[in-house]
Amino acid sequence: MGEAGMSREAWGPLRLEPVYKESVWAGDRLSRIRGLRQKGIGIAREICAYRGSENVVAAGEYAGKSIAELIRQFPQELMGRDDSGQLVRVAYIDAKEDLSVQVHPDQTLAQEKGDYEKSEAWYILEAGEGAQITAGVSTQDVNKLRQAAESGNMESFLVRYPVKAGDVALIPAGMVHACGGDMLALEVGSFGGITYRIYDYGRGRKLNLDEAFQVMKPELSCRVRHFQQKKPREIQSAIRHPLFSADIIDIKGNFAIPSDGSYYVLTCVAGECCILAEGRKEYLRYTETILIPAACGQVTVSGEARLLKSYRTPFAE
């Protein structure tokens, strides 16, 4: 279990540096909330161990080390039973305009490329009037879809859903999808990094039609669920996928999250709170995220906030 002399105290909550990425469709919600000087930030990777996008530890004994390096060094302490070497991905999408329409491969097809499945879900933090997402297509006729994509007339086949703060949508691998403009969404997902672009609203970026139509599953459909605020300290199951899950926890006062020997991620999607674990105190403000290692003990949260608890779906016994 890790290196000799490793102290139990070292495995309190880990705060990671976000990885920011500029995008042509970026909004400014997250930049304003966090006081960022950099403009055009469309993506903020909060928790990621994927190659080339790994977060580094922000403070403490391991400040400056990448989370991927720590996983390799201390797999049991950080990951528990999960031997994948990857973390559930957590990232923000801050969109002023619609993202490109795209699709991701499932595990079988991703493995052929030396990668992982890329399924995801969105929790909507903020959305303007009329905001919507694209999730699915209205026909299973692949020839019609291909012709529409090649001619730039894909929009008539796209299925769109209006969304507001507190909505959740699950986007499994193979589903045609796009996050819409005028919203701030938290994306929780599996480990993969392959994206095939089908339609881009005439922005001139490269499309990946051959690859996209190999992995597309036009029969898939989406259901948008809204989660109203519940009684304090009540847990709502928000996302269930074979590779990742997320719960919504509404807190007013104190709430204890017992350790089950697995890592998880806490993101403050409303309000703010204080996290106490292993004698350490961390403040989690609106939009901030923290990683709770598998070896961390009970976590006590106090304040008035809504948290999204993201984690690897429990292994079958």
Given 179, 204, 226, the domain boundary residue is: 226
- Considering the domain architecture, whether residues 215 and 241 belong to the same structural domain is answered as no
Residues 202 and 307 in one domain: no
Look up the domain containing 260 and give its range. 234-311
**Is 248 in the same domain as 219?**
no
d(CA 314, CA 88): 12
Asked whether residue 89 is assigned to any structural domain, the reply reads yes
- Beta bridge partners, 257, equal 299
What residue type is assigned to position 294 of the chain?
A
Per-residue pLDDT of the chain (317 residues; tens, 9 = 90+): 444 333 444 589 999 999 999 999 999 999 999 999 999 999 999 999 998 889 999 998 899 999 999 999 999 999 998 988 899 999 999 999 999 999 999 999 999 999 999 999 999 999 999 999 999 999 999 999 999 999 989 999 999 999 999 999 999 999 999 999 999 999 999 998 999 999 999 898 999 999 999 999 999 999 999 999 877 777 999 999 999 999 999 999 999 998 888 999 999 999 999 999 988 899 999 999 999 999 999 999 999 999 999 999 986 43
- State the burial class of residue 278 (Cβ atoms within 10 Å of its Cβ: 0-12, 13-18, 19+): middle
86 burial class (0-12, 13-18, 19+ CB within 10 angstroms)? buried
In a domain, 316, yes or no: no
Asked whether residue 161 falls in the same domain as residue 208, the answer is yes
Tell me: do 271 and 214 sit in the same domain.
no
Whether residues 83 and 201 share a domain: the answer is: yes
Cα–Cα distance between 246 and 264 in angstroms, integer?
A: 9
Give yes or no for a contact between 249 and 307, defined as CB atoms under 8 angstroms apart.
Answer: yes
- The distance between the two most distant Cα atoms of the chain, rounded to a whole number of Å, is 63
- Alpha-carbon distances, residue 165 vs 7, 117, 153, 182 (angstroms): 41, 27, 30, 12
Give me the residues paired with residue 240 across strands: 245
| Domain of residue 267, CATH code | 2.60.120.10
Q: Bin 130: left if φ > 0, else alpha if -120 < ψ < 50, else beta.
A: left
CA distances, 32 to each of 134, 218, 312 (Å): 26, 38, 31
| Residue 1 maps to a domain | no
H or E element at residue 309: strand 299-311
Among 171, 196, 226, which residue terminates a domain?
226
**Is residue 208 in some structural domain?**
yes
Q: Do 78 and 169 share a structural domain?
A: yes
**pTM check: above 0.85:** yes
How many structural domains comprise the chain? Answer: 2
How wide is the angle at C-alpha 34 spanned by C-alphas 16 and 279, nearest 5°? 40
How far, CA to CA in Å, does 293 sit from each of 15, 44, 79, 125, 176? 11, 21, 7, 25, 34
Q: Are residues 253 and 211 in the same domain?
A: no
Residue 67 φ then ψ, to 5°: -65, -30
Instruction: Give CA–CA dist 74/295, Å, rounded.
Output: 10
Q: How far apart are CA 14 and CA 143, in angstroms?
A: 49
Name the token pair of 186.
């938290």
